[in-house]
Amino acid sequence: MKISLRKNLGAFALEVELKVEEGELLALTGASGAGKTMLLRCVAGLEKPDSGTINFHDESWYDSARGICLPAQQRRAGFMFQDYALFPNMTVRGNLEFAQRKGASRKRVDDLLEMMALGDLQHSKPATLSGGQKQRAALARALAAEPRLLLLDEPLSALDRETRLRLQDEILAMHRQFGLTTLIVSHDVSEIYKLARRVAVLESGHITREGAPADVFGAGHEGGKFRFAGEVLAIEQADVVFAVSILVGNQIVRIIATPDEAAQLKIGSRIMLLSKAFNPMLQVV
């Protein structure tokens, strides 16, 4: 797949040049509001770029110069939204059947219900499901239309660690089993390491870094800097500075931030914690 598009987002323009190989699982990361979700929506056909091209293998999905803009239902792309977007008035089976292509076999739905361990829940409605069950139902629905491209927008961000790890395995298994090309938006560095061989970083609508996760996140490079992904739990003012509590893995770390740094944060923000470590120490636990 080759993407070359521009879309004005107001504060900045989304301008992306990106190539994704057939069968590749590529991760997209970057600060909130950088344009990641909009990029997925443009690829899926849910938003129209201002100009450019989107080619999936031998098909032209969008070409502003030639006046081509295939509707979403013709792009063979499955989209799993961050908020699940399951139809609340439909059962799990109903959601999957609604997503199927016209004339498709019901066996696809039966197989997906079995693979995602949703057989006993197929007649349940979304409101009665747990977070993990909703995630599995949303992933199954994205696959029900027999897509060639799978687009995942922070699919596991709201789940607990154990459920998130289990569903990461399921996403990887589905990606391989169905021979999909997959784009996943994630802020979780460990998740990116586990799922993707390549990651692209978006900043204000532009890809600023791209490559293997170890190279992009600079593990062991850049003058001894260590990088840890974390989530902001609390921001407290202490005199002229701020104390920020950050969850890194299962540990809470408190750091001092300037007023300018604190102004960019909010509770729940995903951040990268950098630490200079010229004399690191190891402790066996």
* Average pLDDT across the chain, whole number: 88
Query: What's residue 225's pLDDT?
Result: 59
CA distance 131 to 116: 14
Domain ranges of the chain: 2-216, 225-276
User: Are the C-beta atoms of 254 and 243 separated by less than 8 Å?
Assistant: yes
**pLDDT score recorded for residue 284:** 41
Which structure tokens are listed for 61? 């999905």
Sheet containing 68-69: which strands, arranged edge to edge? 13-19, 2-8, 51-56, 59-63, 68-69
Share of the chain above pLDDT 70, in %: 92
Calculate ∠ Cα 188-191-194, nearest 5°.
155
Domain spanning 2-216: which superfamily? P-loop containing nucleotide triphosphate hydrolases (3.40.50.300)
Alpha carbon distance 217, 219 (integer Å): 6
Q: Give the range among 91-95, 197-201, 281-285 with minimum mean pLDDT.
A: 281-285
Whether 225-276 and 2-216 are alike in CATH topology: the answer is no
pLDDT of 239 over the 80 cut = no
pLDDT band for position 79 (cuts 50, 70, 90): very high
CATH for the stretch 225-276 = 2.40.50.100
Q: Higher model confidence: residue 167 or residue 276?
A: 167
